[in-house]
Amino acid sequence: MQDKRVERAPITDQRITKRVVDQLKVHSREYSIWDAKLAGFGVRVRPSGAKTYVVVYRAGTGRRAPFRRYTIGSVGKLTPDQARRRAQTVLGAVAHGRDPAAERTSEREIPTVAALADRFLAEHVDAKRKASTAAFYKDILNRIVNPAIGTSKADKVTRAMVANIHGRLRDTPFQGNRVLAVIGSLYAFAGRIGAVPEGLNPARGILKFREHRRERFLSVEELDRLGAAIREAETKGLPWVVDEEKSTAKHLAKAPERRFTKLDPFAAAALRLLLFTGCRLREILHLRWEHVDIERGLLLCPTARLAERR
């Protein structure tokens, strides 16, 4: 980033070595010394005693190009020769038109996958998805995605990293494919808010597992048997089944009529609605009277995927 206090790096007659660095004294004001052979490479000494290797360069061409100061590392963690090689790498990038200091600042602003997931859940999923869908997204992100790549910067996640997560779920293909969908939705959100370049999606192009259909329709014979069982349950009642192995098992009542439990008429009606409409369980359980159109014989399911499902 631009530092207005940075001035043109002076050329000195000394080469930065360990001996020179060790002899640097701490003053009441910050100062820097510069290498005689590698222009822009120097050591900054602060009043606190901290010493760091730095590189100063112009970001761009011409006299109006701003100066940048790039911190390489602390004295003690790097030797002068190691710092010099890193400085040469930075200056080489500058020679090719790059701005390493600005790139570092931009990289620090990019969130980790875990931080991005928290914002995604709070601003998008919880606000725009059903509670059950939001719970599913949270489970996928917190249990599978974050432990694997949560600490990675969002723009550094590669297709190979996501493919590795997906591949580990081959025994649960439905869940594995849903992980790809959640990651894709996460990065679409990140692109819209400017957290990553728009269009970046490391889940794109990964071949999904084949899924076996879990839907099965009852035959006419099975429907007849189920209907008869519901009628018997709400009239005569269902017989008790005692599990003798359980410590809390109860003995059968002595009176024969007390050995059966009648099905609640509302429960029986809910079962019939499920059979006749093909609705999901929660769609029936969460219905309210304002969702029932008796005149036209319709049920309106506001929680369905469509805006209004009849």
Residues 156 and 225 in one domain: no
Residues 105 and 56 in one domain: yes
Q: Is residue 55 part of a domain?
A: yes
Residue 302 has pLDDT above 80, yes or no: no
Mean pLDDT across the stretch 193-200? Answer: 86
The number of distinct structural domains making up the chain is 3
Lowest mean pLDDT among 97-106, 188-197, 242-251, 262-271: 242-251
Cα separation, 130 vs 280, whole angstroms: 14
Residues 23 and 83 in one domain: yes
Q: Is residue 93 part of a domain?
A: yes
Domain, as residue range, for 228: 220-278
Predicted local distance difference test score (pLDDT) of residue 8: 42
Mean pLDDT across the stretch 255-259? Answer: 57
Q: Is residue 208 part of a domain?
A: no
Round the average pLDDT of the chain to a whole number and report it.
84
Share of the chain above pLDDT 70, in %: 85
Q: Is residue 206 part of a domain?
A: no
Residue 10 has pLDDT above 60, yes or no: no
Per the model's pLDDT, the better-predicted residue between 184 and 237 turns out to be 184
Residue 301 has pLDDT above 90, yes or no: no
Model confidence band, residue 183 (pLDDT cutoffs 50, 70, 90): very high
Q: Is residue 270 part of a domain?
A: yes
**Which residue has 């159109």 as its token pair?**
293
Cα separation, 287 vs 7, whole angstroms: 72
Residues 156 and 176 in one domain: yes
Predicted local distance difference test score (pLDDT) of residue 67: 87
Predicted local distance difference test score (pLDDT) of residue 1: 45
Burial environment of residue 72 by CB neighbours within 10 A (0 to 12, 13 to 18, 19 or more): buried
Tell me the pTM. 0.52
- CATH number of the domain where residue 68 is located: 3.30.160.390
Residues 97 and 49 in one domain: yes
Single-letter amino acid code for the residue at 253: A
- Output DSSP code: residue 59: S
Q: Is residue 132 part of a domain?
A: yes
Residues 153 and 184 in one domain: yes
Q: Which of 109, 140, 173 is at the close of a domain?
A: 109
Cα separation, 164 vs 45, whole angstroms: 46
Q: Is residue 297 part of a domain?
A: no
Q: Which of 109, 139, 168 is at the close of a domain?
A: 109
Residue 66 has pLDDT above 50, yes or no: yes
Residues 238 and 169 in one domain: no
- CATH number of the domain where residue 140 is located: 1.10.150
Predicted local distance difference test score (pLDDT) of residue 4: 46
Mean pLDDT across the stretch 78-93? Answer: 93
> How far is residue 291 from each of residues 73, 176, 274, 302, measured CA to CA in Å?
66, 35, 15, 8
Looking at the DSSP bridge assignments, the partners of residue 112 are 153
Share of the chain above pLDDT 90, in %: 44
Per the model's pLDDT, the better-predicted residue between 132 and 175 turns out to be 175
Residue 79 has pLDDT above 90, yes or no: yes
Lowest mean pLDDT among 97-101, 154-158, 245-249, 263-267: 245-249
* Residue 228: HSE in the Cβ half-sphere, 13 Å Cα cutoff: 6
Residues 128 and 96 in one domain: no
Model confidence band, residue 307 (pLDDT cutoffs 50, 70, 90): very low
Mean pLDDT across the stretch 128-151? Answer: 92
Contact 101, 87 (CB under 8 A): no
Q: Is residue 202 part of a domain?
A: no
Mean pLDDT across the stretch 60-82? Answer: 88
Cα separation, 44 vs 191, whole angstroms: 39
Model confidence band, residue 289 (pLDDT cutoffs 50, 70, 90): confident
Residues 24 and 103 in one domain: yes
Predicted local distance difference test score (pLDDT) of residue 6: 46
| DSSP H or E run through 229 | helix 220-235
Q: Which of 109, 143, 171 is at the close of a domain?
A: 109
Cα separation, 161 vs 223, whole angstroms: 48
